[in-house]
Structure 1
């Protein structure tokens, strides 16, 4: 059996608000949404430059719940962009909270972290140099040795 694709599938409190945020902050495009008679969005898909993000609203009856940032984060979405600083500023202007400002990292990327209005954690970065896995490991070990 071969895997073909991997999609992130997020649960949010308000899918319409999430889609509006992703459109404003990240230039995402809504592909479609499925709405229940009561108004709950049961499924939606958003395109991020050729990558699909799926989302739904809570289904407590099935144990599907939105994140609770007060308990930390078990997952981070990494969005690779042309300009991390600009994208982070746009995300904050659209309602995200800054967790870590953009900075240059040992692995050859400039990146920062925001929490979107739905509570999901996003690492946003762009490449600043090509670094081999061996060099990355050397730099990582040196960084860890510094304490």
Structure 2
């Protein structure tokens, strides 16, 4: 099985209204890196790719413009960052709405939540320990 560099076995694919503007938001507000986009003949994004993180933990998501048969839909994404408070503040400064302030959680993350202007919920988490999650 071949999986492109920067992707995992499971890759989020977000369908939104205003895909080009959404990619700009992901880059500006959440420190994503725009890998590239395929543009349809009508000028809208057929498939855009935005990468987060780096090295062995890099993850790429795909973004596409909504169209008949493929409507925009809400999603929730868990995003690991170096500094949850700073990442939350930056996202809010770029138009996201805070839905849960960053706080230390019992499972070892400092986590907060935002909803971006396209209605995707981002759980912004700073892992505070190298321990694996415990499911006891």
- The TM-score bracket by the shorter chain reads 0.7 to 0.9
Q: How far is 1:6 from its partner?
A: 1.1
**TM-aligned CA distance change 1:107 to 1:58, over 3 Å:** same
| SS of residue in 2 equivalent to 1:98 | strand
Compute the TM-score of the two structures, normalised by the length of structure 2: 0.84
In the other structure, the counterpart of 2:34 is 30
Kindly report structure 1 stretches of 4+ aligned residues shifted beyond 2 Å.
1-4, 129-132
Residue-by-residue CA offset, 1:12-58 (whole Å, 9 max, x unaligned): 11111111111111211111111112122111111112211101010
> Where does 1:4-83 land on structure 2 (aligned, <5 Å)?
5-49=9-53, 50-60=58-68, 62=69, 64-67=70-73, 75-83=75-83
Contact preservation (8 Å) 2:14, 2:64: yes
The two structures, once aligned, show a CA RMSD in angstroms of 2.0
Contact preservation (8 Å) 2:111, 2:124: yes
Q: How far is 1:117 from its partner?
A: 1.3
Query: Unmatched 5+ residue regions in structure 1?
Result: 68-72, 138-147
Aligned length: 127
Residue-by-residue CA offset, 1:66-103 (whole Å, 9 max, x unaligned): 13xxxxx6x42000010001000000011111111111
Compute the TM-score of the two structures, normalised by the length of structure 1: 0.78
The structure with the largest helix share of the pair is: 1
| SS of residue in 1 equivalent to 2:72 | coil
